[in-house]
Each structure stands twice: as structure tokens, then as C-alpha cells.
């Protein structure tokens, strides 16, 4: 009988980093600068986004140790509230929660490559990359985790190199990063809150290792550490990257521009090397695609184990890999790529996912009230302040999402309602 391999601490950390660092940090700054003019407010925006993610990671660490099973929110909400609540979070993840971001990253990868090689078909390359990475992750855990570690390391090295080179560049313009008159007013403006919704989406993935808790070696120690360390690393990288973008390019030229990383690279490295930035970003996206293909199907597997009519999702190969769930997620991804529906889907899944992470963090108070924390190897640092900070800032964002994006919020709730109907059918 084959011994099932376990993921080490470094793989768990790499999974968190790779899930978090996608297209958001390289594309969203231009839109933030349309309504927020102060560079100081922008830096604060990314710092607040990081604080939210870190508070969530610190809280999830205790919840994950108290309820040590793969599946993330599906597992936590099923045990702390009701199986229906857990299933609804899993339903969102299965249908679009992971497939749509994978589709977006894969198409972005194809788009960046096609700028250098125009003859390349964007969709064909996107589907090919998804197919190859799917095959890697359906073989065995050792191969998949090795692939994940290598590409995440390359991602971090490239970003750190970019930041270092940015600091060595002497810009012709002057960007004042410190607080100016009106900076604090912008921080407390509705525009700041709306931008924080999109920044938080760029930070999404801080809970990635909770989806594979059962497959992590010594999860009582490595799960909380991987969540915190991975999130802290990304927070530092995000803040420094946005500083470099505004330091190397005038903010008025960044406002409304999507490829801010490309503009910064042109100034730092010159036109010829800057044009290769597309291929570099494409390389970074491989890690993101791999991480989401690795993490997402573990939710489907957990659901398949609990609901008999969906037990096909729990089917594993001799190495314990849930290959059916992985293939299903990748099929949904390919459909979204071919129908070009992933961008419209992404506008409402952020609301749904934030709602379920909000409920999960609330679960820390249930764990404490039940006395489940007494013998745990890890307890939430700064309890109850840390979870309260997360809940307050998340509630603020959810409010502005509902008021500023009512239709997208409604679509998210409709998808949840469909999940409730499916649960009523399959639970019998």
C-alpha cells in the first residue's frame, strides 16, 4: 500500500503566496488613481488591505487547527453553523469561485504572450496551460507540490528584482508619497472604501492552505504558520510594488491605465527589456493558475465525501489525489474561457466569497464559546481584537459593495440560492 505524501511547510506557504499574487496588483492601481489622487492614500489602501488579510489569516489559523480537515470554509461553516451554510460556500467555490479566476489568469497569460508573439492564439494558449497544469496536479502530490514551489519561488524572485531595480532608478518627475493636505480626507471617502473592495480581491487567497489542511504535514503547526507567513510576504510585496509604480511613473500617466507594471518596466529597464515584461508577468501567472487548480478541488472532494449523490467528486487515485474534482474544475474553466464569461462572473463572486469568509471569522467566537480552543496548539493572536478588526472592515466593504454594485451583489445571491436548491436535492 502506497504511503500518501504530505505537503511541507514551504509548499503550504508557496500555495498561499501563489494564490494571492495574480493579475490584480499589476492592473488595479490605474483605476484607483482615477478617484484617489494622493499617493499616500494609495499606500494606505494597500496597507489596510494587507491588515484585513492578516487578521483573517491569524483567525483562520485557530479555526483550521480546531477543525482539521481539508475544504476551507465548506468544512468550517458546516461544523460551526449548519451543513447547508457549508455547502453554499462550497457551491460558490465549485461553480465559479476558483474556475473563474483560473480562466482570467490563463487568458491574461495568453494576452501578455500574444503581445510579444502576435501569431499566438490567446484562448488556445490559455486552454493549453490549464490542461498541462491539470495533468501535473492529477499525477501525485510530490510532483504537483514541487512544480508549485519552483514557480512560486520564481514569482517572488522576479517581483523582488523588480522592486530593487525600481529603487535604483532615478525618475525625472517628483512623487511625494508622504501625507499632504487632503490625504486623510481621501482615506475616509467612499472612493477609498470602493477601491478597498478591489484591493481585497487582489489579496484574496490568504486562506489557501486551509483548503488542503489534511494534506499538510503537522497541520496543527504548519497551517497557522503558512497562512500568516504567506500573507505577510505578499502584503510587503504589494505595498512596495505600488510604491515603485508611483515612484517610477507620474501618477497622472498611471490613472486609468491597466498595464501599470508595463509602464513602470519601460521606465526602469528601457523600451526593449520593458517589452519583455509581458512574458515575465505570464511566468508569474503560471504559479497562480497552478495554486488555484491545486486548492479548489479539495473543496469538491470534501463535499463528495459528505453527500452520497456527489461521491464521484471524492474519487481519488492511488496517490490520494482527487483527480475527478480537479478535472471538473478545469472543464468549467475551459468553458468560461471559450464563452468569455469569466469577467462578468468575477464581478459577483467577490461579494459571495467575502460573505462566507465573514461568517467563517465569526465562527471563532463559536469555537471559544464551545471551549474547543482549550487544548489547541495555536490560538488566535490578539483575540478578540484581531477578528473584530477583520469583521468591521469586511462589513464596511460588503456594505459599499451592495450599495455601489447592487446588480452584481444580487447575482451573487442568486447563485447562492441555486446552491440551496441543489443541496435540498442531493442531501436526501
Say which CATH number the domain at 261 has. 1.20.1740.10
Q: Which residues of the chain carry a pLDDT beneath 50?
A: 1-2
Residue 376 DSSP SS3: coil
In angstroms and rounded to an integer, the radius of gyration of the C-alpha atoms of the chain is 21
Cell 489579496: give the residue.
203
Domain hosting 333: range is 9-426
Within a domain: 242: yes
Q: What is the pLDDT of residue 333?
A: 92
pLDDT digits (tens, 9 = 90+) for 30-48: 888 888 888 899 999 999 9
What is the reported pTM?
0.84
**Beta carbons within 8 Å of 403's beta carbon, 6+ residues apart:** none
Alpha helices in 210-339 (DSSP H): 219-248, 251-254, 260-269, 271-274, 277-295, 297-306, 323-339
Within a domain: 245: yes
Which grid coordinates are listed for 29?
A: 492601481
CA nearest neighbour of 159 among 7, 258, 281: 281
Residue 216 DSSP SS3: strand
Distance of alpha carbon 359 from alpha carbon 348, whole angstroms: 18
**Beta carbons within 8 Å of 312's beta carbon, 6+ residues apart:** 304, 324
Q: What is the pLDDT of residue 163?
A: 92
Residue 181 DSSP SS3: coil
Within a domain: 2: no
Distance of alpha carbon 170 from alpha carbon 32, whole angstroms: 24
Q: What is the pLDDT of residue 23?
A: 67
Within a domain: 145: yes
Q: Is 379 exposed, middle or buried (0-12, 13-18, 19+ CB in 10 A)?
A: middle
Within a domain: 399: yes
Which grid coordinates are listed for 57?
A: 489569516
Q: How many domains does the chain have?
A: 1
Distance of alpha carbon 314 from alpha carbon 324, whole angstroms: 7
Q: What is the pLDDT of residue 1?
A: 40
In terms of phi and psi (left: phi > 0; alpha: psi -120 to 50; beta: otherwise), the region of 218 is left
CA nearest neighbour of 105 among 283, 320, 297, 368: 283
Within a domain: 4: no
Q: What is the pLDDT of residue 344?
A: 64
Within a domain: 3: no
Long-range contacts, 272-275 (Cβ 8 Å, 24+): 275/115, 275/116
Amino acid at each position: 500500500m502506497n504511503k500518501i505524501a504530505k505537503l511541507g511547510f514551504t509548499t503550504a506557504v508557496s500555495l498561499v503566496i501563489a494564490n494571492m499574487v495574480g493579475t490584480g496588483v499589476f492592473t488595479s492601481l490605474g483605476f484607483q488613481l482615477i478617484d484617489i489622487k494622493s499617493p499616500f492614500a494609495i499606500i494606505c489602501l494597500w496597507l489596510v488591505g494587507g491588515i484585513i488579510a492578516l487578521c483573517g489569516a491569524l483567525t483562520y489559523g485557530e479555526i483550521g487547527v480546531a477543525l482539521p480537515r481539508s475544504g476551507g470554509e465548506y468544512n468550517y461553516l458546516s461544523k460551526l453553523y449548519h451543513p447547508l451554510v457549508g455547502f453554499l460556500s462550497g457551491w460558490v467555490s465549485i461553480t465559479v469561485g476558483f474556475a473563474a479566476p483560473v480562466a482570467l489568469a490563463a487568458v491574461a497569460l495568453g494576452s501578455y504572450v500574444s503581445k510579444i508573439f502576435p501569431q499566438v492564439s490567446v484562448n488556445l494558449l490559455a486552454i493549453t496551460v490549464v490542461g498541462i497544469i491539470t495533468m501535473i496536479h492529477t499525477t501525485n502530490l510530490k510532483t504537483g507540490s514541487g512544480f508549485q514551489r519552483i514557480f512560486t519561488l520564481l514569482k517572488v524572485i522576479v517581483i523582488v528584482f523588480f522592486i530593487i531595480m525600481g529603487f535604483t532608478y532615478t525618475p525625472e518627475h517628483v512623487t511625494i508619497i508622504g501625507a499632504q493636505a487632503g490625504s486623510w480626507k481621501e482615506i475616509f471617502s467612499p472612493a477609498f472604501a470602493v477601491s478597498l473592495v478591489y484591493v481585497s480581491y487582489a489579496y484574496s487567497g490568504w486562506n489557501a492552505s486551509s483548503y488542503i489542511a489534511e494534506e499538510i504535514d503537522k497541520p496543527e503547526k504548519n497551517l497557522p504558520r503558512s497562512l500568516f507567513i504567506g500573507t505577510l510576504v505578499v502584503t510587503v510585496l504589494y505595498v512596495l510594488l505600488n510604491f515603485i509604480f508611483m515612484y517610477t511613473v507620474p501618477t497622472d500617466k498611471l490613472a486609468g491605465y491597466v498595464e501599470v507594471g508595463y509602464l513602470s518596466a519601460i521606465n526602469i529597464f528601457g523600451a526593449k527589456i520593458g517589452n519583455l515584461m509581458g512574458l515575465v508577468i505570464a511566468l508569474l501567472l503560471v504559479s497562480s493558475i497552478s495554486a488555484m487548480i491545486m486548492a479548489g478541488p479539495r473543496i469538491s472532494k470534501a463535499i463528495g465525501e459528505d453527500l452520497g449523490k456527489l461521491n464521484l467528486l471524492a474519487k481519488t487515485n492511488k496517490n490520494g489525489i482527487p483527480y475527478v474534482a480537479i478535472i471538473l474544475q478545469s472543464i468549467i474553466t475551459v468553458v468560461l474561457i471559450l464563452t468569455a464569461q469569466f469577467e462578468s462572473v468575477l464581478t459577483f463572486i467577490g461579494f459571495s466569497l467575502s460573505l462566507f469568509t465573514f461568517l467563517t471569522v465569526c465562527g471563532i467566537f463559536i469555537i471559544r464559546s464551545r471551549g474547543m480552543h482549550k487544548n489547541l496548539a495555536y490560538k488566535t493572536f490578539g483575540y478578540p481584537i484581531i477578528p473584530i478588526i477583520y469583521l468591521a472592515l469586511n462589513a464596511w466593504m460588503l456594505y459599499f459593495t451592495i450599495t455601489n454594485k447592487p446588480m452584481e451583489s444580487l447575482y451573487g445571491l442568486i447563485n447562492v440560492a441555486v446552491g440551496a436548491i441543489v443541496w435540498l436535492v442531493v442531501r436526501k
